[in-house]
Amino acid sequence: MNEQRKGVTRREALALLGGGAALLMAGTAGRPAPVYGQPAYGQPGQLIRNIPATGEGLPAVGLGTAVTFDVGNDPAKRAPLPEVVRQFVAAGGRLIDTAPSYGASEEIIGEIVRSQGLRGKVFLSTKVGASNMAEGLEQLNTSVRLLGEGIDLIEVHNLKDWKNQLARLREWKAAGRIRYLGVTHYTERSLDAMIRVVGQEQLDFIQINYSVREREADAKLLPLCRERGVAVLVNRPFARAGLFRAVRAKPLPAWAAEFDCASWAQFFLKFIVSNPAVTCALPATSNPKHVLDNMGAGLGRQPDAAQRKRMAEYFDAI
């Protein structure tokens, strides 16, 4: 791999990401291999964002599980997943996001969290996506069985039956069964509906799609969340791998070193987490090589407003 030797060495840069970072030396599945060597990270530890409702801090890079952890009982596909979680936590990660609609993901995350003794060390987020109250209660009870009591956050998935489901989540929160509640969606066409709900309801979190390609939430929803004190989780941070396809075979711009960016994955994630309205981005991976690369986005300098504008313009021109 062609590496720059300016600044710190690749060995030194990788060491900053903790044990097992040597796994980052190659990319797979069409994702560009991360390149290290420049720059040195300017700040120790992960970028932390506070949940507005309580002030509790969360690392700004989390772990999504849609598709990547839905592997059923296939031993070969399950094999790397405990290491993904181990590396994620070792690198300073905390928030793991799942949902009943993610197939086996809740079950697998629950098993890994128990086997690695991570309960209380990770922040578990799941969802309820039901068309009626009976179905919703069944989903919630299954989530508790798979993940354990005291789930940190449950959100109404894709605004499905959101008024009724949110009412039950409020009851669960009041009873101490969950700590936070919210709503989610994953498409830009849902933004108007999300704006209405955020404007009229008291929410702890929302979860939406947002990336250097999908920036529609910048106009109204993200400013409203800041005004209303709502934490923002970001799904589809790589636009379902579309961002990697767009930059395939293209070198990372040299000016990315200005904000301690060592790979395209970090470029895309730093664009997201540097937005002050964003609490945590949720890249999904089943590859231990990629989870550490993703976590590097929470290290070092973050792009300022002018640099974020340059990032968006650069990507738009590709």
pLDDT digits (tens, 9 = 90+) for 203-256: 999 999 999 999 999 999 999 999 999 999 999 999 999 999 999 989 999 999
pTM over 0.75: yes
SS3 64: strand
C-beta neighbour count of 120 within 10 angstroms: 11
Looking at residue 8, its pLDDT comes to: 33
Residue with the larger pLDDT of the pair 168 and 5: 168
| Mean pLDDT, residues 133-139 taken together | 98
- Residue 107 belongs to what domain range? 10-317
Res. 173: pLDDT tops 80: yes
**DSSP per-residue codes, 190-249:** GHHHHHHHHHHS--SEEEEE--SS--GGGTTHHHHHHHHT-EEEEE-TTTTTHHHHHHTT
Percent share of the chain, pLDDT over 90: 86
Q: How far is CA 315 from CA 148, 167, 195, 237, 318, in A?
A: 42, 41, 27, 14, 5
Q: Is residue 3 part of a domain?
A: no
Looking at residue 249, its pLDDT comes to: 87
Q: Is residue 201 part of a domain?
A: yes
The CATH number linked to 103 is: 3.20.20.100
Q: Is residue 14 part of a domain?
A: yes
Q: Is residue 2 part of a domain?
A: no
Number of domains in the chain: 1
Q: Is residue 71 part of a domain?
A: yes
Looking at residue 310, its pLDDT comes to: 98
Q: Is residue 203 part of a domain?
A: yes
pLDDT digits (tens, 9 = 90+) for 293-303: 999 999 999 99
pLDDT digits (tens, 9 = 90+) for 66-92: 999 999 999 999 999 999 999 999 999
Residue 36 half-sphere exposure toward CB, CA atoms < 13 A: 23
Taking all residues of the chain, what is their mean pLDDT, rounded to a whole number?
89
Res. 278: pLDDT tops 80: yes
| Mean pLDDT, residues 126-131 taken together | 98
Res. 20: pLDDT tops 70: no
Q: Is residue 165 part of a domain?
A: yes
Q: Is residue 47 part of a domain?
A: yes
